[in-house]
Structure 1
């Protein structure tokens, strides 16, 4: 049997504790950059498990990134995300592009590992080594994305994947974390959602670059499309998209195609998803108008029959063109790197503080002291942070 992994296989065991690869990274980056899928799998295992040396691996890969399109697919459970992602990957391959898929699964409360294994539901590309599918655990994060996801995207980007697709857990309004990682976010809305569509107003609606009404052959699809159109039209102003730091609509009113690829006109007869979004020039130096010039199209699909997939990929391409032409791609990249820095600092500071808590007797011992009335949580926090603050003050003084 070849030691190459099967297409789409997860190889977490390749980097298990005590294995040879745990302590030897010789040539791993070089093999990844040379197109070795086994090296990619081992790198992602090292990243996900946060094993020693993973940060150096990711750091070495950064110079080789920046070319992949990162597409997030999110929506409520049962909307058909996995089937849609499978068809997206298949169609991209038919167009000659390579694909990486990261399927974020709910994490096991016992092991912390992924419990669904979405690659089981992605059968169309089995055997195609240019489609690399990896299931990763959400590890309890509210946004449905583990902190390792961005690093895994970095690895796939450096590997040379043209498209990296992230499928999220589908936990409702907490899915907004995908905005911090993906260039384009597709929000799936099942037909006949009714009250569920109204619920989207409060959260997930704001993150969509493209709306997808999947399973559009079912009753209620037309109504769902109409409800989404109305919500988009009512979403004028800074509250739509601005709170998510993403985008907002213009007033063009175009909204997409049906499952057969036909343009769906708006009330004024305008046609749909593939019109160039209107470019609005900033007024008096206000860039917010420019960032609000993309209006999310609505694309109807029937993923099980591959209907509407080409139209959806075209909508993604249109959005990429908008990002590049408007300068928003550069803005999002800057925002993404800033968020990565914040995340790493939070993780490192957390570890430092855990060590300081242990030095003070551990959380349990401190909690008992509070319970006995000997101290209080605020005093403990001040005591634990005091050496950190003094260190930073000394550093500032030395710099001055």
Structure 2
């Protein structure tokens, strides 16, 4: 008897994993059922989000971290969220091309996904794609975002560990602090630390961290200097990731911790709740918009309504209320 796609994914079949993610990304009719079948077999992987401004060296850093993960004996999944091509609507796929060193390692799965206009640098299907890799047995999954500024806060809703990568001397460190990145980072990385201004960037981040209120047992984001092109500092970064994972596991197990050594169980529960709430709200919004565009409104009616708003013929609140009234109206 042939195996189902979900069973093949759970067996670690690379082609099945690729097929599953394609179905999810294309929003195929069978995608929801696939996720439903895989979901009970997930929750074992560590999701590491890597975000930061373009040109920060995130891809090279992810490449180095992939090597470090494999050296430790773990299996790896990498999801590179690429900006959508304005001409084809597909991912540019640059990150995957830059990670050819792992192309022949069967224990490393790399996939590029397009943002498709979704804010926050995360493709709509990223969470479910990570779920596929989780079900396939990948012990660590890294998600690299395009890095588009303030909207990067979405990454924390998906990742167990959020790494913010900054570069000295570009003003990105200051801009990131202004954009509220302080609130989502578990680990700061000052990459290209051979450049002038690396120490100033570290001092700037430390100064802002000093203004934050950290409760007893809460994790205070460390700052790691790296030079990804040479590998400098990568071992320290990997050790910091392992430290964070160890503290997370201790918190989950209810083990006592020193005051400043990890984040609290309350904080961890809050993050998990926020992640699941975000996914549920995102799916509900997406499903409702599908209902609006394909069932409630006739062909072209939604676009016409948008045009009426632009022409000031109707305000957005009234338009939304009208659509909601249609959705709640009992069917004959």
TM-score after normalising by structure 2: 0.87
Q: Does residue 340 of structure 1 match 2:316?
A: no
Query: Counterparts in 2 of 1:226-241, with a 5 A limit?
Result: 226-234=203-211, 236-237=212-213
Q: Aligned partners of 1:310 and 1:373: how far apart in 2? A: 58
Question: Does the aligned pair in 2 maintain the 1:73–1:168 contact within 8 Å?
Answer: yes
Q: 1:217 to 1:350 in 2, by over 3 A?
A: same
Q: Does 1:90 align with 2:90?
A: no
The Cα offsets for residues 106-145 of structure 1, whole Å up to 9 and x where unpaired, read as: 0012332101431111133221010101000011122000
Q: Is residue 388 of structure 1 aligned with residue 327 of structure 2?
A: yes
2:7 matched residue in structure 1: 30
- Say if 1:330 and 1:37 are closer, same or farther in 2 by CA, change over 3 A: farther
Hey, what does 1:130 align to over in structure 2?
107
The answer (yes or no) to whether the contact 1:183–1:329 under 8 Å persists in 2 is: no
Deviation per CA, 1:145-190: give whole Å up to 9, x if none: 0110000010000000010000000112221110110010111111
* 1:197 is aligned to 2:173: yes
Aligned length: 316
Change (3 A) 1:370 1:118: closer
Q: Distance between the aligned counterparts of 1:301 and 1:371, measured in 2?
A: 48
Q: Which position in structure 2 is the counterpart of 1:169?
A: 146
Question: Does structure 2 conserve the Cα–Cα contact (< 8 Å) formed by 1:87 and 1:124?
Answer: no
3-state SS, counterpart of residue 305 of structure 1: coil
Residues 195-204 or 77-86, more deviating: 195-204
Name the stretch that deviates more: 318-327 or 67-76: 318-327
**Secondary structure of the structure 1 residue equivalent to 2:100:** coil
Shift of 1:218: 2.1
Looking at structure 1, the residues matched to 292 and 110 of structure 2 have their Cα atoms a distance apart, in angstroms, of 36
Aligned counterpart, 2:221: 296
Deviations 1:194-222 (A, max 9, x none): x4322222222221100001111222212
Residues 173, 385 of structure 1: alpha-carbon distance in 2 compared, 3 angstrom cutoff: closer
Gaps of 5+ in 1: 1-24, 238-248, 251-279, 281-289, 393-400
* Residues 1:309 and 2:234 aligned together: yes
**Do the aligned partners of residues 380 and 120 (structure 1) sit closer, same or farther apart at CA in structure 2, a change above 3 Å counting?**
closer
Bigger Rg, which one: 1
Deviates more, 1:211-220 or 1:317-326: 317-326
**Pairing 1:358–2:297 present:** yes
Contact 1:356 1:384 in 2 (8 A): no
- Pairwise mapping of residues 30-109 of structure 1 onto structure 2 (< 5 A)? 30-109=7-86
User: For the Cα contact (< 8 Å) 1:77–1:169, is it kept in 2?
Assistant: yes
The Cα of 1:376 is off from its aligned counterpart by 6.5
CA distance in 1, matches of 2:310, 2:193: 58
Higher relative contact order (CA 8 A, sep 6+): 2
* SS at structure 2 position matched to 1:192: coil
With 155-164 and 329-338 compared, the bigger mean Cα shift is at: 329-338
Structure 2 unaligned residues grouped into runs of 5+: 252-263
**Distance in 2 separating the partners of 1:364 and 1:165:** 37
Q: Secondary structure at the match of 1:124?
A: helix
After superposition, give the CA deviation of every residue in 1:325-368 in whole Å (9 maximum; x if it has no partner): 13244442232222211111111111111135534971355567
C-alpha displacement of 1:375: 6.8
Cα RMSD (Å): 2.6
Partner of 1:222: 199
